[in-house]
Amino acid sequence: MGQKNQRWLGHGLMWAVVMVGVVATANVAWSAEPTRTVTFTKDIAPIFQQKCESCHRADGMAPMSLVTFEDARPWAKSIAARVGTHQMPPWHIDKTVGIQKFKNDRSLTDDQIETILAWVAAGAPKGDPTDMPPPRTWPDESKWQLAGKYGQPDLIVKSPEYTMPPVAQDAWWRPTVPTGLTEPRWVRAIEIRPVGTNARKITHHALARLIQPEDMPAELFTNDPNVAGGGLFMEWAVGKNGDEMRQDSGRLMLPNSKITWEMHYHAVGEEINAHTELAVWFYPKGQEPKKREVLALFNTFSGTAPGGRALDIPPNQVTTTESFVTLKENARIENFQAHMHLRGKGMSMEAIYPDGRREMLSQVTDFNFNWHNMYIYDDDVAPLLPKGTILHFLAWYDNTKNNKANPDPDQWVGWGDRTVDEMGHAWLNITYYNDEEFKSELGKRAAVTTTVDRQ
């Protein structure tokens, strides 16, 4: 063996000895610190209080409570399965795409998921009862959830009562009632709910449309001239109850306005009486916001536009549809919510700026019809888009047997109100700005970003 090879061999042996010593030292250090057992009282209960108990508590909408160890322990394996596959908590925004800061983020962090899985893997131990955090106080479901923040509603509008027979076809009921307003008022918060014993069992969704003279063009509300998107005020669906305006914006209600309801009811085997109530909180007089916010509906297919394509989903296929909406005014997008039915699997919203730049804003990749999540952007990341920006919506539908929610993959599926039909649109709360106001908003955003970068 030559001197060069001997020299390399010597260096290699010395390096191996050093590495053995490092590994041995690391092993000693690791073994000197015993692995701590994850327990319910110390580790799991705080996570459940923060992310799960809003639904999983006595008389909550979930099928079981997770408030105490005794409540949660029988469901440990099921919890691990749902948490490990990101089915629970229901938060379907893609965490690898687009904006990731939301005011209402109820998803679990990676650390929280690992903690829950470690607890179940360890046999779901209870732990020291003295480690249990104080119980969390939740608002009474029979009361308005936003009342704790704003007090009792300033206005409550009720729909007429409806009786759903035990067995019947789905019903879409659209009564109109006056709001009773005699002067213009600016809205800072809205909440809507089905009312009556078991009313939520038969209410698929409830829409409240605000009917009043408008000076805003209809295209600011919708991209389909055959969709009455203008004046849409609030929607109730599973997982969606209320809406709060940002500090500088609100919705405007005019005198002699009316609410036209749309309740989708379905029979569940027993006669149920139900109605819907809309609670409104106003800004105090003299503290009106500077900007008006609207709730807009943008279809994710071209529909009745010239040369457009209707929603038509072939059997046993995965189908995509898309639409392009040009913003007529400068805008801030307040939230993103995908609405589809049983074949719906995902939806994205992309901004194509006037200079040609493209930015993916948000994407839902595992849509679940049981949860109508509204993803509300944090103040410092809500998209600020100049007029002329094109919003590109892309939706995809799985009409195959691989979609477990699919009632019949052998059927052609088109647009329709029934659950077995299909839909595709995005709900967006939008605040519009003139050029001077928009420039000011951009300046504020840049100042905040600079401050954060310096920190």
* CATH 2.60.120.230 boundaries in the chain: 145-287, 300-455
Tokens read off for 184:
């213009």
Strands 249-253 and 185-195: antiparallel
Return the pLDDT at 353: 98
In whole angstroms, what is the distance from residue 278 CA to residue 261 CA? 10
Residue listed under structure tokens 């607890």: 119
Specify the pLDDT at position 230. 45
Q: Would you place residue 237 in the very low, low, confident or very high pLDDT band (cuts 50, 70, 90)?
A: confident
Give me the pLDDT at residue 130, please.
Answer: 96
Whole-number pLDDT of residue 431: 92
Helix (H) and strand (E) counts in the chain: 8, 23
pLDDT at 317 over 60: yes
Residue 448 has pLDDT above 60, yes or no: yes
At the top level of CATH, the class of 145-287 is mainly beta
Separation of alpha carbons 57 and 43, rounded Å: 18
Q: Which helix (H) or strand (E) holds 104?
A: none
**CA–CA separation, 151 and 281 (whole Å):** 9
pLDDT at 11: 38
Q: Which residues contact 322 (CB under 8 A, 6 or more apart)?
A: 300, 301, 302, 392, 393, 394, 395
CA distance 262 to 268: 19
Residue 260 near residue 399 (C-beta atoms within 8 A):
no
Residue 8 pLDDT greater than 80, yes or no: no
The mean-pLDDT minimum among 9-13, 294-298, 442-446 falls in: 9-13
Q: What pLDDT is stored for residue 308 in this prediction?
A: 58
* Average pLDDT value for residue range 40-69: 91
pLDDT bucket at 205, cuts 50 / 70 / 90: confident
| Rg from Cα positions in the chain | 27
The mean pLDDT of 392-414, rounded to a whole number, is 96
d(CA 278, CA 251): 14
pLDDT for res 54: 84
**Residue 246 to residue 361: CA distance in whole angstroms:** 19
* Residue (of 325, 324, 363, 329) closest to 345 by Cα position: 363
Average pLDDT over residues 111-123: 96
| Residue 104 clears pLDDT 60, i.e. is over it | yes
Which residue, 385, 380, 358, is CA-closest to 296? 385
Closest CA to 261 of 193, 183, 165: 193
- Rounded mean pLDDT of 272-286? 95
Gap between the Cα atoms of 78 and 63, Å rounded: 12
Residue 293 has pLDDT above 50, yes or no: yes
pLDDT at residue 2 in the model = 45
Cβ-based burial of 290 (10 A; exposed 0-12, middle 13-18, buried ≥19): exposed
pLDDT exceeds cutoff 90 at 123: yes
Look at residue 105 and tell me whether its pLDDT is greater than 80: yes
Residue 389 pLDDT greater than 90, yes or no: yes
Could you read off the pLDDT of 162-184 as tens digits, one per residue?
Answer: 999 999 999 999 999 999 999 99
Local structure of residue 288 (DSSP, 8 states): -
| Average pLDDT estimate for 75-81 | 96
Whether the predicted pLDDT of 87 surpasses 60? yes
CA distance 67 to 136: 9
Long-range contacts of 147-151 (CB under 8 A, 24+ apart): 149/189, 150/188, 150/189, 150/281, 151/281
Report the CATH number of the 300-455 domain: 2.60.120.230
Contact 367, 300 (CB under 8 A): no
Provide mean pLDDT across the span 23-36: 42
